[in-house]
Chain A
Amino acid sequence: MAKLMDSKLKNIIEALIFVSIEPLTEENIRKVLEEFPQEEIDKAIRELLQSFSDNEKGIQVTNSGGGYLFSTKPEYDSWIKRLLHIERKNKLSSAAIEALSAIAYHQPITLAEISALRGVDSSHTLKTLLQKKLIKIVGRKKCPGKPLIYRTSEKFLTYFGLNSLNDLPTQEEISKILEEENNFEK
C-alpha cells in the first residue's frame, strides 16, 4: 500500500512539472501536496529524478532557476533542430556575457558601476540584456542622479542552468580557468 502511495506521489509531481512553464519550486510542490508529509515528498522528488536519469527516456527533469523543469536530453539536440528547422541557437555576444558576469557578481549594481568594472560604456549592452529579460531593474540608488539599479533575473539562472546565485562559478573555478588559459597561451 505504501509502495503504491509513493509512486502516486511521484506521478503527481511529474504532472505538476509538466504543466509548469516556469521552473516549479519545491515550495509550490509542497503547497499543492499539503496533506503529505515533507519526507514523503522529498523521497518522491528523488525517485522522480532517478526515473528520468536512466536511458529509457528522451527528456529529463532538470533542477534550475530555483525549481524543476522538463528539458530534453542533450544528446537529442540535432533531432530537435531538424524538427524545428533551426540550424543553431543564437548565443549571447561576448559583451553581453561579460556584462552579465559583472552584474551577477556585483549586484545590485548601477550602469556606471558596470561600465567602470568593464572599462567600457555598457548602456547599449544593458538595453539588450533587459530586452532578453536576463536582467531586471530593482530600483534606484539613493545617490546623486538616482541611477537605476540592476539585478540578474530568474531567467538568467535558467538560461545558464543555475539553480540559484550560489551556483555561480566559484573563485576557485575562475582561478582554475584563468590558469588554464595562461598555460594554453604559453
Chain B
Amino acid sequence: MESTDSYKVRLEVFEGPLDLLLYLIKKQKIDIHHIPIATVTKEYLEYLNKKKRININREAEFLFMAALLIYIKSRMLLPREKVINEEDPRQPLVHRLLDYQNIKGASAILRKKEDEEHLKWKRTSQPPLLKGEDLELEEVSLFDLAEAFFSLMKRRESQDFRIIKGKEFSVEEKIKEILTELKKNSFLDFLDYFYQQESLEEALVSFFGLLELIKTKVVVAVQEQLFQAIKVWLTKDYYAWQN
C-alpha cells in the first residue's frame, strides 16, 4: 500500500508526459537531439507501470505519449526505401521537447520574479477590508433579511418537482460552513448562498445559523443600496470570537 502511494506522488510531481520524458533524458545524460528511443521508451513504460491503478483523466496524456514513443520506435525499426530525404521520426518529438524545455526554463525564472515581487507590496494588492462598517454600508434589518429569505424560498418552491430526503443538518455545521465561505471570499451574496441550498430544510437551518452569527456580531449583513444584493461580511469581532 505504501509503495503504490509513493509512486503516485512521484508521477504527480511531473506536470505531464513531456516533463517526465525530459526528466528521464536528463537522468540518463542523453543528448536530446539523439534520443535512444528504445531505452527511453523502456524507462518511460517502467515509470507508468509502477502506478497500479490508472486514473484515466490524468494518465491518458501519459499513455498517449507512451503510444507515440512506441510508434516512433516501430517506424525506426521498419526498413524503408528512399531513406535519404526522409525526416528522422524522432524529429517532431525533439522539437516539442525543446519547446517544452524552454517553457520550463522560463517558468523557473518567472517563479523567481514572483518571489521577488511578492516582497514588494503595492496598494492594489492589499486584501479587501474585513470590517463592514468601514464601507459606509447600510446594515440590513432582520425583517429585510427574513423577507428576502422567504421570497427566495417561495420562488424555489415553485421550481421543485420532488424532494429527496437526504441527510440532516445542524446549525453548528452550517455556521462553520458559512464562516469558511466568508474566510475564503471575504463576503457572501445572501441570495446566491441560499439559492445553492438543496432543500427547504437545509436552507432554514442555514438561515438560523446566519441569524445566530448576526446576533453574536460575528458577521454583518449589508446592502449597498436599496434593492441591491444583500452581502454578508465578517466583522472584526470575528477574530475576538474565534479566540
Interface footprint category on B:
35 or more
Interface footprint category on A:
35 or more
**Which of B96-104, B142-150, B224-232 makes up part of the contact surface?**
B96-104
B72 to chain A, nearest CB (A): 15
**Which of A2-10, A46-54, A68-76 makes up part of the contact surface?**
A68-76
Q: Is A159 an interface residue (CB 8 A)?
A: yes
Q: Which of B19, B102, B124, B127 sits near A86, CB closer than 8 Å?
A: B127
Q: Give every chain A residue within 8 A of B53 (Cβ-Cβ).
A: none
A73 CA to B122 CA in the complex, in Å?
10
Q: Give every chain B residue within 8 A of A174 (Cβ-Cβ).
A: 102, 105-106, 109
**Which of B34-42, B112-120, B190-198 makes up part of the contact surface?**
B112-120
A55 to chain B, nearest CB (A): 16
Residues 1-53 of B contacting A (Cβ, < 8 Å): 15-19, 26-27, 29
B100 touches A169 (CB 8 A): no
B184 to chain A, nearest CB (A): 12
B107 touches A97 (CB 8 A): yes
Q: Which of B26, B110, B117 sits near A101, CB closer than 8 Å?
A: B110
**Number of A-B pairs, beta carbon distance below 8 Å:** 117
**Which of A27-35, A88-96, A138-146 makes up part of the contact surface?**
A88-96
B127 touches A84 (CB 8 A): yes
B10 to chain A, nearest CB (A): 15
Q: Is A117 an interface residue (CB 8 A)?
A: yes
B120 touches A169 (CB 8 A): no
A-B contact pairs, 14 of them (CB 8 A): A62-B120, A70-B122, A74-B120, A84-B127, A86-B127, A89-B118, A94-B107, A95-B15, A100-B107, A120-B15, A120-B61, A161-B120, A173-B105, A181-B108
Binding site for B on A (CB under 8 A): 21-22, 60, 62, 69-75, 77, 80, 84, 86, 89, 91-92, 94-95, 97-98, 100-102, 104-105, 116-121, 158-162, 168-169, 171, 173-175, 177-178, 181-182, 185-186
Binding site for A on B (CB under 8 A): 15-19, 26-27, 29, 61, 65, 96, 99-111, 113-124, 126-127
